[in-house]
Amino acid sequence: MKLSDKKRLDILSAAQDLFYSQGVEHTSMDQIAKQANASKRTVYNHFSTKEVLFEAILNRMFLQLDSIDKMDYNPALPIKNQLLQIAQQEAQLLSSDSFLRIAKVAFMQMLQQPELAKQLSNNKIGCLTFLESFLEQAVNAKALNINDPEFAAKQLIFQLKSFIFYPRLYGFEIPTAEQEKTIIEETIELFLARYKAK
């Protein structure tokens, strides 16, 4: 690895730690340079503004997320079992340290940059990268009866977020492993009560 590439990674790592611990607004380029053991000029040579650096941090953090196995609908298996597997994967992502770090950095900055919320909402991650397609396949196989697969996919994921992700993000009461299992099972039961083909 070239020295300039290594220095760029050092700057990204320093900025990521500082943005997470004290927020983007309260972090200066001087602090980032000091933590990265680089000159301020070197930081600006790699990243022209703090906003550019912040975008690079978000992109890097998304790439560092644990990858989720994409699933296609399998007509040979019960739809409930497949949805449970999807929900378990999503719950694992939503409660992971890497996802919570991104969320904290991004949520703090969205208060300063409202347009960031729109940008992030277009960035599909986790099960949302394939769930809509999965649901369409299940509808075509007559296992589910859904008119709007995009809306149904968001219903499923947002319910999991409400019980598993947001309590962790805001420091509320965090569900136990047993409670999380119940949340996942009840979420799928509710989803199937609405959408399972009769």
Superfamily of domain 66-195, CATH level 4: Tetracycline Repressor, domain 2 (1.10.357.10)
What mean pLDDT comes out for the span 177-183? 95
Residue ranges of the domains in the chain? 3-63, 66-195
Range from 1-5, 42-46, 71-75, 97-101 that averages highest in pLDDT: 71-75
Instruction: Report yes or no: 108 and 125 within 8 Å, Cβ to Cβ.
Output: no
3-63 against 66-195: fold identical: no
Predicted local distance difference test score (pLDDT) of residue 117: 61
Its CATH architecture, for the domain 3-63, is: Orthogonal Bundle (1.10)
Burial category of 62 from C-beta neighbours within 10 Å (exposed 0-12, middle 13-18, buried 19 and up): middle
| Digit-coded pLDDT (tens) for 117-171 | 666 666 677 888 899 999 999 999 999 999 999 999 999 999 999 999 989 888 8
Task: Give residues with Cβ within 8 angstroms of 116, minimum separation 6.
Answer: 106, 109, 110
Secondary structure (H, E, C), the chain: CCHHHHHHHHHHHHHHHHHHHHCCCCCCHHHHHHHCCCCHHHHHHHCCCHHHHHHHHHHHHHHHCCCCCCCCCCCCCCHHHHHHHHHHHHHHHHCCHHHHHHHHHHHHHHCCCCHHHHHHHCCCCHHHHCHHHHHHHHHHCCCECCCCHHHHHHHHHHHHHHHHHHHHHHCCCCCCHHHHHHHHHHHHHHHHHHHECC
Predicted local distance difference test score (pLDDT) of residue 149: 96
Instruction: Report yes or no: 36 and 7 within 8 Å, Cβ to Cβ.
Output: yes
Predicted local distance difference test score (pLDDT) of residue 6: 85
End-to-end CA distance of the chain: 59
Instruction: Report yes or no: 32 and 42 within 8 Å, Cβ to Cβ.
Output: no
At which residue do the structure tokens 């300039």 appear? 4
37 or 62, greater pLDDT:
37
Give ∠ CA 126-114-103 in degrees, rounded to 5: 35
Percentage of residues in the chain having pLDDT higher than 90? 47
Predicted local distance difference test score (pLDDT) of residue 69: 80
169 or 32, greater pLDDT:
32
